[in-house]
Amino acid sequence: MTTKKTNLSEYNNTDIPNVNGLSFSIVVSQWNLNITENLFQGAIKTLIDCGVKKGDINRIDVPGSFELVYGAKIAARSKPSAIICIGSIIKGETKHFDFISQSVSNGIMDLNIKLDIPVVFGVLTDNNMQQATNRSGGKYGNKGVEAAITAIKMAHLNI
């Protein structure tokens, strides 16, 4: 099956639920920081554009994507309406890509089972830097924007 490569970050403002009273934590991996900073900017701008107040958004930095799960656990202590995990894992010559990608996706899934707070997977898993660039504000949009919209929708479910 082929995937049509379109910009997945275009959203319709009228479909976005009311954000009154919602708060968000964004956990940002510092590995491949040029990519994750663009993802973060996409996410925070989207939250603010959708009406979330700056003061209701908290940022936690962690060294790499592997640490996102623990970072999200820390973020959960302040009971935000949703947590967004942002990371960029890029394939190299060793198996790190498989181990880290698998651990992070399983870890975030576990948090969704255990916590009463939705935790959103805003992690790019790419074969190379060009693919990551294309998806962090490039020609295929910004995964951070998608993560923010997902977080709002999931937080709204939990009201």
**Pattern 92-121, ligand DLZ, x by CB under 6 A:** x---x---x---------------------
Q: For residue 51, what are its two tokens?
A: 């009406």
**Quick one: 10 exposed, middle or buried, by C-beta within 10 A (0-12, 13-18, 19+)?**
exposed
Distances (CA, A) of 118 to 70, 92, 128: 15, 31, 29
Question: What is the rounded distance in angstroms from the CA atom of residue 143 to the CA atom of residue 124?
Answer: 8
Residue 63 binds ligand DLZ, judged by CB under 6 A: yes
- Nearest-approach distance from CB 99 to ligand DLZ, in angstroms: 9
User: 156 an active-site residue?
Assistant: no
Site string for ligand DLZ, 23-52 (x = CB under 6 A): ------x-xx--------------------
Handedness of CA 135, 5, 120, 118 (dihedral sign): positive
From the list 96, 131, 138, 140, the catalytic residue is: 96
Q: Under the rule (CB under 6 A), what is the footprint of ligand DLZ?
A: 29, 31-32, 63-67, 87-90, 92, 96, 100
Active site residues: 96
